[in-house]
Amino acid sequence: MAIISALLFVTTDAAAQVSKQKTNEDAKSTTTLAVEVIVVKAQRHLLRSDLDSLVSSTLIEREQLDMMQSSSLGETLKFNPGIHASYFGPSASSPIIRGLDGPRVKVMQNGLDGGDASRSAPDHQVSGDSSNALQIEILRGPATLLHGSGAIGGVVNVIDKSIPVELVPETSAEISASLSSVDKGKNVAFSLQTSAGKIAYYVDAFARDAKETKIPGNAHLEHDEHEEHEEHDEHEEHDEVTGILENSQANSKGFTIGSSYIDDKFMIGGAFSYSDSQYGLIGHEEHEGEDHHEEAEHGHEKLPFVETTQKRLQLQAKWFAPSPTIDEITIKAGHTDYQLQEIEDASVATQISNKSSEIKAQIHHRWLADWQGITGIHWQTSQMTPVGEEANSPATKTDTVALFATQKRQYKTLEWHVGARIEHVKIQPMLAQANTLSTISFTPLSWATGLSWDINDQQQLLVNFNHSQRALSASELFAFGEHLGTSTFDVGAYFNMATQGNKALNKPDTFYNKLHSEDANTLDLGWRYNGDNLVFASSVFYSEVKNFAYQDFADLDNGHLPVYLTRQERVNLIGGELQLSYFFNDYVTLSSFVDYVDVSLDKGGYLPRIPPLRFSSQLNVEFQQWHFNLMLTHYAKAKKLAHNERTTAAYELLDMSIYKHQLLDTGKLTYFMKVSNLLNTEARVHSSFLKDKAPLPGINAKVGFRWSF
């Protein structure tokens, strides 16, 4: 009971969420219910709980994205309860869900895998762009079984209109643009959709450019221990750059074209998208030679940067109501050709290519009396090929085939969800060492069950239990070598470092480890109250994970970088989120949320880079078509630290935004201004590898508009 009591926090999600019951009572609102998603729209700020883990945990729509959108997916989503960001600089920041990130959080585009390299390393950018996204959904619980058993943390799905699913009566378009002061950023996006007969068409494009980010004070946080290190003394002059996060510039662009044939019984469509980006590798330059720094500082050479390109083809077909017991049959397929190059001294130092293909077929049915369900098959293959001086893992082919099913039933005031998924994962690494395995296989089995009980018109109780198994990724298994982006020498779970005394020999020894899939059991309890003027939602969870793969600091001298061994141990996660929204009247709302997660090793100690306790409170005022928001977020000091990990100081971020909707003779115009980090606070993200090298941006004024016509 003491543990549960410690998780009772107060909260609010400033943009709005109310329960299904409250929404249904409001004549102005529209609610769409599906197995995976609840969408709520209304003229006033009605709140829907982000903590309903039986369906979509969080749904962020276009209007909110205009205010939240940043240069990376992690930074865009980080102010939602239970979600933080890894922050490897402004451009490479991935979402962290309840303390879990990397391969445990699946990032998708329109229900299929993103196909980039962001799940394998924190310095790799998420390729999906939200400039023209219709919405972003963040899933937990049984709904994740539709997309992959590896999503122990959750699923982030970026949804757009690239494959049209309906005919539009007339041509419509959107143009959006914004400017930001902290990085002299310029963003522009365009989309158009139209129909001719039974054929629908879609096209969009975006471009983004940003210079180096302004920060409060120095980028590097000095520690007494650092002054003893030779490399710090070598580059002391280089580290004294003030007010700028050096090498943080970025630019990207892309386009999408799509079309569909649609009639009353059937639709089939496809889309092709292309994107490329370039961004600086923050912190990477510290490990280059002194001559390189002198040249870079005098403008003769660029500091290391990354170039990525992605070509993506996606197909979708739907057959509507083919039989009395089948509501819909859906087939999705995609192929992605992705390439990442790290450029140093005007030449390619490292290149990572990933070619992936995927097919998912699912049937929405009512085969059992009083039950609704989804049953499907999912196949995916990917060929990851790293080459170059920092390619610290071998070329690997991964094949996955899965069967999944979910069911739900409504009985009076109870709604019951069940689901299961079984996969077979085959990994084929191109290992050079003798006596190594040529193929490694896992067969993860996952299942979940959940119950929602409407106690009365104002209260709802939620109970979820998940059993999830996850096959380790190729990089977790077979990494062996320097990873200068994180300033570490990484050793995968399959290998052991050969040593002589306390000295690392920087080569694998002849003993290879037996590998296990991760095995997680999670209990999630939620309670919601929906009053006339008050909405309250709480969720607490406990998860026990066997064979959890994590990087453990090894006290070895390898003459250069610290050695981190990927080990598998039992880990316990406990935490929760609370949200509270109070409606003073139709115009003024106060919302708050608190989230917390504790991740500890069963043998003692904690995992590194776990987000600290966070409290956020936001005041929302609406008058006619004007909307005003003021939000204060407090991050507590990080106290529960891993071995060889430093604490991170507490800090507060104050943000303000104003936007207005205006009807024009042609369409609707929304324009906005947002000021982030209004107090110009020096803030260092504890969940970041770069917390000692890269603070968050300083005060930033962003202005922009979206014109729909």
Report the amino acid identity of residue 193. Q
Q: Could you tell me which residues are beta bridge partners of residue 392?
A: none
Predicted confidence (pLDDT) at residue 270 exceeds the cutoff of 80? yes
The pLDDT confidence band at residue 378, using thresholds 50, 70 and 90, is very high
pLDDT in tens, 274-287: 999 999 988 765 44
Range with the lowest mean pLDDT among 38-47, 290-299, 516-525?
A: 38-47
The pLDDT confidence band at residue 129, using thresholds 50, 70 and 90, is confident
Other Cβ atoms closer than 10 A to 411? 8
Instruction: Tell me the C-alpha distance between 688 and 645, whole Å.
Output: 12
Instruction: Tell me the C-alpha distance between 196 and 181, whole Å.
Output: 42
Predicted confidence (pLDDT) at residue 18 exceeds the cutoff of 60? no
Other Cβ atoms closer than 10 A to 510? 9
* Spatial CA neighbour of 269 closest among 327, 321, 332, 328: 332
Residue corresponding to tokens 């200068």: 484
Global pTM value:
0.85
Three-class HEC string of 231-298 = HHHHCHHHHCCEEEECCCCEEEEEEEEEEEEECCCEEEEEEEEEEEEEEECCCHHHHCCHHHHHHHHC
Q: Which carries the bigger pLDDT value, residue 127 or residue 667?
A: 667
* Spatial CA neighbour of 159 closest among 118, 129, 197: 129
What is the pLDDT, as a whole number, of residue 224? 56
- Number of residues assigned to the chain: 709
What is the pLDDT, as a whole number, of residue 487? 80
Please compute the mean of the pLDDT values over residues 248-269 and round it to a whole number: 95
* Spatial CA neighbour of 649 closest among 693, 683, 696, 606: 683
For the chain, list the domains and their CATH numbers: 2-708 (2.40.170.20)
What is the pLDDT, as a whole number, of residue 90? 86
Predicted confidence (pLDDT) at residue 98 exceeds the cutoff of 70? yes
What is the pLDDT, as a whole number, of residue 600? 94
Instruction: Tell me the C-alpha distance between 527 and 329, whole Å.
Output: 34
Assess contact for 356 and 336: CB atoms under 8 A: yes
What is the pLDDT, as a whole number, of residue 223? 63
> Can you give the C-alpha Rg of the chain in angstroms?
25
pLDDT in tens, 31-76: 333 333 333 333 333 333 333 434 446 778 877 777 777 778 888 8
Predicted confidence (pLDDT) at residue 419 exceeds the cutoff of 70? yes
What is the pLDDT, as a whole number, of residue 334? 96
Please compute the mean of the pLDDT values over residues 474-503 and round it to a whole number: 88
Going by C-beta distance under 8 Å and a sequence separation of 6 or more, which residues neighbour residue 456?
A: none
The pLDDT confidence band at residue 3, using thresholds 50, 70 and 90, is very low
pLDDT in tens, 306-321: 999 999 999 999 999 9
Predicted confidence (pLDDT) at residue 101 exceeds the cutoff of 50? yes
Assess contact for 16 and 48: CB atoms under 8 A: yes
The token pair at 45 is 């700020």
Please provide the average confidence, as pLDDT, over all residues in the chain: 84
What is the pLDDT, as a whole number, of residue 294? 45
Predicted confidence (pLDDT) at residue 239 exceeds the cutoff of 70? no
Report the amino acid identity of residue 293. H
What is the pLDDT, as a whole number, of residue 55? 46
Which helix (H) or strand (E) element contains residue 365? strand 347-365
Predicted confidence (pLDDT) at residue 653 exceeds the cutoff of 90? yes
Sign of torsion, CA 281 283 287 293? positive
C-alpha angle with apex 102: 352 to 633, nearest 5 degrees? 125
Predicted confidence (pLDDT) at residue 302 exceeds the cutoff of 90? no
Predicted confidence (pLDDT) at residue 291 exceeds the cutoff of 60? no
What is the pLDDT, as a whole number, of residue 23? 37
Give SS3 for 656: strand
What is the pLDDT, as a whole number, of residue 257? 97
Three-class HEC string of 173-221 = EEEEEEEECCCCEEEEEEEEEEEECCEEEEEEEEEEEECCEEEEEECCC
The pLDDT confidence band at residue 301, using thresholds 50, 70 and 90, is low
Please compute the mean of the pLDDT values over residues 673-689 and round it to a whole number: 94
